[in-house]
Structures are given as C-alpha cells and as structure tokens.
Amino acid sequence: MNTKRMKELGEKRSVIRELFEYGTKRKAEIGAENVFDFSLGNPSVPAPKEFTEELCKILEKENPAFLHGYTSAPGDLSARTAIAADLNERFGTAFGPEHLYLTCGAAASLTISLSALVNEGEEVVIFAPFFPEYTVFIETAGGKPVAVPCEWPDFQINFEKLEAALSEKTAAVIINSPNNPSGAVFSEESIAKLGKVLLRAEEKFGRKIYLISDEPYRELIYDEEKYPFVTKYYKDAVICYSWSKSLSLPGERIGYILVSPENEEWKNLYSGICGAGRALGFVCAPALFQHIIPKCVKMTSDISVYKQNRDLLYNALTKMGFEAVYPKGAFYLFVKSPEPDANAFCEKAKKYELLIVPSDDFGIPGFARVSYCVSSEQIERSLPSFKKLAEEYSL
Amino acid sequence: MNTKRMKELGEKRSVIRELFEYGTKRKAEIGAENVFDFSLGNPSVPAPKEFTEELCKILEKENPAFLHGYTSAPGDLSARTAIAADLNERFGTAFGPEHLYLTCGAAASLTISLSALVNEGEEVVIFAPFFPEYTVFIETAGGKPVAVPCEWPDFQINFEKLEAALSEKTAAVIINSPNNPSGAVFSEESIAKLGKVLLRAEEKFGRKIYLISDEPYRELIYDEEKYPFVTKYYKDAVICYSWSKSLSLPGERIGYILVSPENEEWKNLYSGICGAGRALGFVCAPALFQHIIPKCVKMTSDISVYKQNRDLLYNALTKMGFEAVYPKGAFYLFVKSPEPDANAFCEKAKKYELLIVPSDDFGIPGFARVSYCVSSEQIERSLPSFKKLAEEYSL
C-alpha cells in the first residue's frame, strides 16, 4: 500500500530531526550559546562573495524570461558544457554535455538514477555507515537495500563481505566518499579493487551492476588526498553530484547525474534517466542556478575552515581518550561510543548540552556523529563539556 | 519492469517537443522571423521588474548561509504564512502555514500528491483535454488514468460521463482550470456541482475521493471571471499551485500543495505528502525562491499582454471561419480542426510556417492548440498564413 508507506515516512521523524527539535527547545531555555549543537550537516561557511556577485550580475543583465524560463529537461547546454570541461581538466576524463543531466540536488540525482536502474525486487548494495535516506530512495525504486559494513578503524571496503553480498539480483552498488557520517575517503586502492570486483561480478552473474557514486563531499577533502574519480576505475559508473556542500547551497537543490560514456549502454541509461526525471516530476533543475554554473564551476566555499575544525575536534577528543575515525573529508567526526549503546552515550552527552547523533540510523551501532560544520568558536567552547563526558566514562 | 518504462519515457518525445525541434531547424533555414512558432507554453512576458529588484535586495542583505541553506522540508514558515494570508484575504478561506507544503513546481506538486493519495491499481479521473503528463504522473503513483471528455463548445464538465467513470476504485479526480490546452475556465456552477457529485460518490463507495485542483493558470483569467476556489465547494480538496505562469518563473520550480483543513483526515494526508516528498527525492523547494515569496505573493507578470493576444487571435481566426473554444483563461487557443485528423491539419499548417500542436496527446482528437504566450507582433504577422490555411479548407 503506497499511501501507508508515505504516511509512515512523513510521520517518522529521523533521529537527527528529533535532536534538532530538542536543540531548538533547549536553546530557548538556556540560551543558544550554552547549547553545543553538532546535529546537522548544514554548511556553516557561506557561499563565496564572488558567487553572490555573479548572481546579482546575471539578474541585472539577462532577460528574466530567459533567466527564469524552462531549460531543456537535461539542463542548459552551457552549464553542462562547463561542467564537462571542468571535470575533464581536473580528472583527465572525456565527458561531453550529452553525458550530464542536471538535477534538483543529490537526493533527486539518487532517486532518478535508482528509478532508471533498478527493477522491482532487485538489490542495491550500500556500505554501512550510510546516509539513512538511501534505504528510502532504494525502496521507492522498488529495490531492496543490502548493507555491507566497512572495516574498522579506517572505514575502507571489506571486500570479503562485499563479494558475499553481490548476487544475480544486484542492480547497483552505492558508494559515498567522502562519507557521511564517517568522514572516511575511499582510497584509490579501494576504488580500483572495487572496480575489479564489480567487473568480475558482472561477468559471473551475466548482468550490469552499476556503481553509483554519491559524491556531494567530493571537494571537501583535506591533507591533499587524491580523489580517485570512479569512472576511471569502472566503466558502468554513474556519478551523483550536488553543489550543496562545496558551494554551501543545500537549499537551492542543484546538482547533476553523470553517466560514463565507456559503458557501452550509456545511451539507454541516459534515456532511462530522462524518463525517470519526467516520471518523478522533475521538469528541469532550478534555472537561475543552472545559468550561474558556467561562472562558478571552479568556485568553492572556504573549505579551510572545515579542515581547521577537523584538526581541532579530532585532536582534542582523541587526547581526551575518545576513539574516532580520522576524517579525511566531509565535515563529520565519527566517534566510537565508550559504551555499546550509542543512544545511551548520546543521551549522556545531552547532560553536558552536547547534541551528537547516535549511529544506529546510519546502519551500524556503537558510534556518534559529530558535525563540525559549525563555528570553530563553538568547538572551542564545547571542549570542557566533552572533557566532562570523557570523565564520566573514566577515559 | 521499472527500467523499461523509464527508458521508453525518456525516448518517446512529446509531439510538442518534436514540433519545437522542427521549429528550431526551420528557423535556422528561413530565419526566425519567418516561422510562426505557437508550440510552447513558455511565458513570453518577463517576471516583473519589482521581482528582480527584491531578489537583488535579499541577495545583498541576507547571509548567504541562511538564504541558500536548507529550509524545513514543508518549506520556510514565513513563506507559508504569507501564502496562507494572501489566499485567506482573496478567497475568504481560513488556511494556516500548517496546510501548505512548498514544492519544486506544479509537476512535483502533482507527483507528490498522487503518491500520497493513490494505491496500486486505483483510478484517477482526468478531464479531456488534459495536460499529457497527467497520465505519466498517475502511472508513477501506481494508478490508472480514466479520461472523461468535456462538453463542446464550452468545455465544461459532462456530469453524466463523470458519474459513469467514478467507482469504488476512484482515489482522486484532477481538474485543471484555467485549462491547458483549451483555455476554458470551469464555472462556479460546474465546481459547485462537481463538489456535490463527488460527495455523493464518497458516500456511495464508502471511501475518500480527493479532488486535486492543478491551478498554475489561476491568475491568468480574463473578462473578470470570478475564480471558484475549490476548497469552498468540496472539503476533500488538494490544491497544486506553481508560480511558473503567474510570475513567469517556469524554470525555477517553485510551487505548493495546499490541503483543505475541512477534510477531517487532513493531518494524515499532510503526513503522506511529507513522506512522498521525501521518498521521491524532494528535500525542500529552492530556498532563494522560498525566501522571496513573502515579498511577491501579490505580484504577477503583466497579464494584460495575454488578454490582448487572446482577443487578437480569437477574433481574427473565428472571422476567417475557424471554430475555436473561447479562452477565458491561460494562454492557449483550442482550434477545431477543419478535417477530422488534427495531425493532418497541423501538417498543412506547417506549409505556411505555422507551428501548432495536434490535440491527440491531450486526450481528444480533432483540435489544435495555439499557444499565444508570444509577442503580439508575431500573432499579427502570422495572420496572413492562417488566412491561407483557412482558404485551403475553403472556410
């Protein structure tokens, strides 16, 4: 029953949302400065000034009927051309605008791709920890999520478990690197091996197994970590991107799907993506933000703030005795719960006004996600509270 | 097979799109000024200057992290409050922000509402002529479209045929007034009677039958026709709106769903809408355009241009001998084909460089849609061609 599922999805609040509501209430009670809210993944660094300037410039210059008018369903040609050129320059690839389909953000990129790829009853492999909405999106497409836990402590792929999860029913595998919630970045070695394993599985099961790379955090990598662009390691790849995090535009819903031209069936897949966008009610990506893309394809927000926060938080918490995944990207610190029940740990944290998210909804128990897309000053001020929490566990 | 459906939807070009492509080619061959393109429903009147000014103002004034950040999934509270207040003032209703859910445009409003309302195998009644994507959206929700033809020549509801189409399987009825493609506006009498018929059907079949009013053309009404706001005539109503036409923002994907609070189950329905938005991959409506709503809820583009075009085109064509529906709203003239096959008629029109859309995809044969959201000057210049077309049929 479709309507029952929708009602339940609408009623069931996520743990993150519950915590956010609690934080709002608590801030009203004791003052916002006394609550250390690390619950959300909403970028704290604003979009760059040059971005706003370019927006104002095209608003002044261009005819509004063009600027706000329909674009073609796959997106404005200039925008797609600019994105392809930028990717080719950075990653040595050979994409054209015909391989790109602009979307209303990463969630849309995923629901559209999954609807184009998955048939009723097929399976989609995801790596735990994972973004909780993956299971919702997979189920919308009629698929069944199959979770494969990552390795501890580096959160790379456990290939033994992956191979056991692949079957003749596997339509796709989703990766999310840099990862929400762990901050881990899959190494080039992991991606290369993943490509080989999937190719072998395709041969073994005689079917396409698509690799969907959900990479809204792609530009948020620290320590000059090289980003292994997945189409170079596996031909049946689909990239889902969004400017939500790199340009701090999460509310504007602008992103894309990229299909690899090395997949010999890419034209059929692209048609399926166009069809799925249409069927789900996506007419085109927001036009104004499409038209600004050629001007800002090389811009990012000031990511150095997140790196500074990462260092500050990771060093302080591990010094206090907490165990945590070393985050090479994104803006989350994944802290091991000092007791088996992460929910109990996060409840204790609340006593010290620390709002952190238990990991169960991300598909693994025993961790807490600390979002450090906040001011460095909030992190500094929160450290005595984390210290008290550590002491409670005698770390 | 889901993927097969998506591929076919992506490959099958609409007649309108085919015509548009033909027009682009033809314009390159003989010059844009010599092709009279009446194929698309893309507003020709730009968004008002005050709208652009307000956009620039908030871009200069507000913090980009707020302006482009996530809003709550149902939409920013100020925007929803402003919309409710405006509707209450204009239509004497009593809506609050809690009855509104902002969306990425009218297509999203429809796919979300249908997914929240329709169960697998249930039926959704639509009135022919209808916007062709209705059948796609209904099928995405697992439903089956049931078309009921309107009356000739006023294109009001044929209640006998409607009653024959309603059954215990009917989950919803969609109306679209002012109508694309006919330009007809359902009279207050039609809407009042529709409310009574649906209430009787609910009692007879012991189930909810929702009335979905898709009204992106609501503000485009001429001749001071009074707009019967459907929630006043039927309690189980859902309004799908978009600023695409009224503010000439079709590319920006900004609209809303409104549930009537007089439906005793509105809270469940609203939860279902929140769940469906989430399941389909709509995170929030584009944030910048949400934040501008309180400033522009009373603005429209210069609609007088469309009225002028309506009068010019309707008078000239009927004087030449064509029969047409008198368009009381929207920006389409629905012309009766002088021969039974509208496709043949539209092909003949091409000989005179007139690009008009045959009605078959709109669910009825024998008509052509002429979009008059073009410059008045294009209409003037096209009249000799229409005259020659009339002469070919000895009208």
B124-153 pLDDT per residue, tens? 999 999 999 999 999 999 999 999 999 988
What secondary structure letter does DSSP report for B45? S
Predicted local confidence at residue A248, as pLDDT: 95
Rounded to whole angstroms, how far apart are CA atoms B187 and B6?
Answer: 38
Mean pLDDT of B346-368: 96
Rounded to an integer, the average pLDDT of A191-209 is 98
Residue A358 has pLDDT above 80, yes or no: yes
Q: How far is A129 from chain B (nearest CA, A)?
A: 20
| Cis check: omega of the bond before A365, within 30 degrees of 0 | no
Q: How confident is the model at residue B16 (pLDDT cuts 50, 70, 90)?
A: confident
Looking at the partner chain, which of B52, B118, B251 has a beta carbon nearest the beta carbon of A287?
Answer: B251
Q: Beta strand B357-358 with B367-371: parallel, antiparallel or unpaired? A: antiparallel
pLDDT (average), residues A369-386:
97
CB atoms within 10 A of CB B384: 10
Asked if A280 lies within 8 A of B111 by C-beta distance, the reply is yes
Token readout for A173 is: 């595998």
- Which tokens hold the place of A318? 């591990």
Q: Which residues of B touch A44 (CB under 8 A)?
A: 65
Q: Kindly report the CA angle at A51 between A49 and A55, in degrees rounded to 5?
A: 120
pLDDT band at A74 (very low <50, low <70, confident <90, very high): very high
Residue A125, classed as helix, strand or coil, is strand
pLDDT beyond 70 at A265: yes
Contact B85, B106 (CB under 8 A): no
Q: Which of A52, A68, A123, A305 to mutate to test the interface with B (most CBs of B within 10 A)?
A: A68
How many angstroms separate the CA atoms of A244 and A246, rounded? 6
- From CA A134, how far away is CA B328, in angstroms rounded? 46
Q: Which residue of A has its CA nearest to B143?
A: A2
Estimate the crossing angle of helix A105-117 against helix A133-140, to 10 degrees: 40
B335 pLDDT higher than 90: yes
The residue with tokens 């038209």 is A291
Give residue B329's Cα distance to chain centre.
Answer: 11
Integer Cα distance of B335 and B181 in angstroms: 10
Which residue from A45, A68, A250 is facing B70, i.e. has the nearest CB? A250
Quote the tokens at residue A252.
Answer: 């504007």
Select from B310, B301, B363, B140 the least CA-distant residue to A116.
B140
Chain segment B158-171, per-residue pLDDT in tens: 999 999 999 999 99
Contact B271 A43 (CB under 8 A): no
Is the CB of B253 less than 8 angstroms away from the CB of A133?
Answer: no
Secondary structure element (H or E) that encloses residue A115, with its range: helix A105-117
pLDDT at B17: 78
Between the alpha carbon of residue B175 and those of residues B91, B180, B266, B359, B371, the distances in Å are: 19, 11, 20, 18, 20
Q: Answer for the pair B234, B213: CB distance below 8 angstroms, yes or no.
A: no
Give the pLDDT of residue B165: 98
Chosen from A280, A301, A302, A373 to mutate, greatest number of chain B CBs within 10 A: A280
CA B163 → CA B152, B157, B198, B257, distances in Å?
Answer: 18, 11, 9, 27
* Confidence band, pLDDT 50/70/90 cuts, at residue A272: very high
* Residue A200 CA, distance from chain mean position: 27
* pLDDT mean over B110-134: 97
Return the pLDDT at A20. 82
Of A265, A235, A280, nearest to A108 by C-alpha is A280
Q: Do A273 and B5 touch (CB under 8 A)?
A: no
Q: What is the pLDDT of residues B64-96, one digit of tens each?
A: 999 999 999 999 999 999 999 999 999 999 999
Buried/exposed code over A38-56 (b: 16+ C-beta within 10 A; e: otherwise):
bbbbbbbbbbbeebbebbe
pLDDT band, very low/low/confident/very high, at A315 (cuts 50, 70, 90): very high
Longest dimension (CA), chain A: 65
Q: Cα separation of A132 and A15, whole Å?
A: 10
DSSP-assigned letters across all residues of A336-364: EPSSS-HHHHHHHHHHTTEE-EEGGGGT-
The type of residue at B286 is: P
Convert the pLDDT of each residue in A85-128 to its tens digit: 999 999 999 999 999 999 999 999 999 999 999 999 999 999 99
CA–centroid distance for A171 within its chain: 20
Indicate if the pLDDT at residue A225 is higher than 80.
no
Contacts of A63 in chain B (CB under 8 A): 46
Pure H helices in chain B = 2-11, 15-30, 49-61, 64-67, 77-91, 105-117, 133-140, 159-165, 188-205, 266-280, 287-296, 304-320, 342-351, 376-392
**pLDDT band for position A15 (cuts 50, 70, 90):** confident
Which pLDDT does position A393 carry in this prediction? 96
Confidence bin at B98 (pLDDT 50/70/90): very high
Exposed (0-12), middle (13-18) or buried (19+): which is A347, by Cβ within 10 Å? exposed
Distance CA A198, CA A196 (A): 5
Q: Residue A152's pLDDT is what?
A: 87
- The nearest alpha carbon in chain A to B137 belongs to A279
Helix, strand, or coil here: B6? Answer: helix
Alpha carbons A134 and A155: distance in angstroms, whole number:
18
- A320 Cα to chain B: minimum distance (Å): 32
pLDDT at res. B1: 64
A308's CB contacts (< 8 A; 6+ apart) are: A376
Instruction: Name chain B contacts of A283, Cβ cutoff 8 Å.
Output: 105, 107, 250, 253
- Confidence at B223, pLDDT banded by 50, 70, 90: confident
Residue B18 reports pLDDT greater than 80? yes
Tokens in use for A345? 């740990």
Does the pTM of the predicted model rise above 0.95?
Answer: yes
List strands edge to edge, sheet with A367-371.
A332-336, A367-371, A357-358
Q: Is the pLDDT of residue B372 over 80?
A: yes
B181: cis peptide before it, omega within 30°? yes
Region of B189 on the Ramachandran plot (φ > 0 left; ψ -120 to 50 alpha; else beta)? alpha
Arithmetic mean of pLDDT, B237-254: 96
List all residues 6 or more positions away from A261 whose beta carbon is below 8 Å from its beta carbon.
A94, A95, A96, A99
Min mean pLDDT across A1-15, A101-115, B177-191, B322-336 is at A1-15
pLDDT at A1: 65
> Chain B: nearest CA to A56, how far in angstroms?
6
Map tokens 């992103």 to a residue.
A255
Task: Work out the minimum CA distance from A27 to partner chain B, whole angstroms.
Answer: 18
Percent of chain A with pLDDT over 70: 100
Give the angle A193-A324-A174 at the CA atoms, nearest 5°.
Answer: 35
Give the Å distances, CA to CA, from A86 to A27, A101, A191, A244, A368: 43, 15, 22, 18, 36
Residue B177 DSSP code: S
Q: Which residues of B touch A275 (CB under 8 A)?
A: 5-11
User: Which site among A7, A20, A98, A109 would you substitute to test the B interface, given the most B Cβ atoms closer than 10 Å to its Cβ?
Assistant: A7
Strand partners, B329: B221
Using CA atoms, how far apart are residues A77 and A97, in angstroms rounded to an integer?
7
Determine the Cα–Cα distance for residues B95 and B78; give it in Å rounded to an integer.
14
Task: Decide: B44 and B374 in contact? Cβ < 8 Å.
Answer: yes
Mean of pLDDT over chain B = 96
